[in-house]
Amino acid sequence: MLIGLVRDSVLQCFCHSCKAPLGIVAGQRRNNAPFKKPSGKGKPRTKQPKKVKFITTEIRCQEKTKGGLCYEVILAEPTGPKRAPSPPQPSPTQQTAIEDKLKAAEERRLSIEAHKLASLAAKLSKIEEASRKKDELSAAFMAATRESLDAKMNNTEEKREAHIADLKSKLKEHLESVEKTRLSLEQQTEEVRCAVEEKLKTAAAQRDENIKRMLDRLKEHEEQVARVRQGMSERVQQLESQIQGKLEQARERRETIEREQKEKLRNHNTVKIAQVRQMAARELLVKKFEFDKRVSTAELNRQREIQRRVQAIRRHHERRAEIVRQNKAAIRQDNNLVNSPQPILPVENETASSG
């Protein structure tokens, strides 16, 4: 029913004035014949929609799009009278059965409570027993721990005193050893200081002696350097004089060698040029003779080749002339045979026998 009301309210026209269903407005008819186009004569027939009672509803348009229209439909409350629910009237048999069930339930509840109380009492007794045992155990443990702690404290006190006494004795021995080492170190440092002072004194004396020796050596070295420098200067002067003499001798020798070379070049130019010219003339004559010889041999070879070719051409012409003569003779013979009255076969036999 509710679905039908919603459907009818949704299919209502949006103008809220004509109260016509949306299917009729859109031209959709149910259980009717298909729509026919009106003829050209007269006006088209239209049927007015019947008045239909609709439940008041509210349609709120929310959004308009190209594809359609989105809206909300709010249904109204039903207009029919509400019926009050009638209370049920129990029967006497049901009432007695209910009373029996209630009594049985009360008895069960009492028995369950008694059972729970008994179990709780047993649990409480167990808890009290456990707490008593726990107290006894804790008291015994505390007594035992107190005794053990007292014994441990006494033992640790004795050990601490013994350890302190041992440490005191060790410290005393250590202090004695430290004092001994300090005294020995002081003695050693004193001895080392005395030895160092003596070494310093001896080193100072040796240093003075070494300085004197070094000064004497330096003086001797300076004198030696002066002597060497004087000798080197004299040697350098001698070497310079020797080098000058050698340079003069080398210059004279070079001049003489240059003069000799110039004379040799002059002689070489005159004699050698004449010899070269003679050799060139001889080579030219030899080459000319060889060229003439080659030209003559080439001419002879050319003439021989020409004669050979001429003879070959003559032989070729003679051979062709002989072939032509033979052909002519054969043609004449054929003509004679054709013109003769004798039969051909005896002639052939005769020629074959003669041949």
Give the pLDDT of the chain (355 residues) as one tens digit per residue: 445 654 565 555 555 555 545 444 444 444 444 445 545 455 545 555 555 454 556 666 567 777 777 777 776 665 555 565 655 665 667 788 888 889 899 999 999 999 999 989 898 889 989 988 988 998 899 989 989 899 989 899 899 899 999 999 999 999 999 999 989 999 999 999 999 999 999 998 888 998 988 898 888 888 888 888 888 888 888 888 889 888 988 989 889 898 888 888 877 777 777 788 888 888 888 888 888 888 888 888 888 898 888 988 988 888 888 999 888 888 888 888 777 655 444 444 444 334 3
Residues across the chain? 355
Within 10 angstroms of residue 232's Cβ, the number of other Cβ atoms is 10
pLDDT at 52: 46
pLDDT at 350: 43
Distance of CA 256 to the CA centre of its chain: 85
Q: Extract the tokens encoding 62.
A: 């929310």
Supply φ then ψ for residue 269, to 5 degrees.
-65, -40
pLDDT at 196: 92
Q: Which residues contact 212 (CB under 8 A, 6 or more apart)?
A: none
What is residue 258's DSSP assignment?
Answer: H
Instruction: List the beta strands (DSSP E) in the chain.
Output: 58-64, 69-74
pLDDT at 275: 80
What whole-number distance in Å separates Cα of residue 219 and Cα of residue 227? 12
Counting beta carbons within 10 angstroms of the beta carbon of residue 240, is it exposed (0 to 12), middle (13 to 18) or buried (19 or more)? exposed
Q: Which residues contact 92 (CB under 8 A, 6 or more apart)?
A: none
CA-based nearest residue to 73, from 86, 83, 91, 61? 61
What is residue 21's DSSP assignment?
Answer: B
pLDDT at 349: 42
What whole-number distance in Å separates Cα of residue 35 and Cα of residue 23? 14
Q: How far is CA 62 from CA 17, 29, 65, in A?
A: 20, 29, 10
Is-contact 22 13, C-beta < 8 A? yes
Which residue type is seen at 156?
A: T
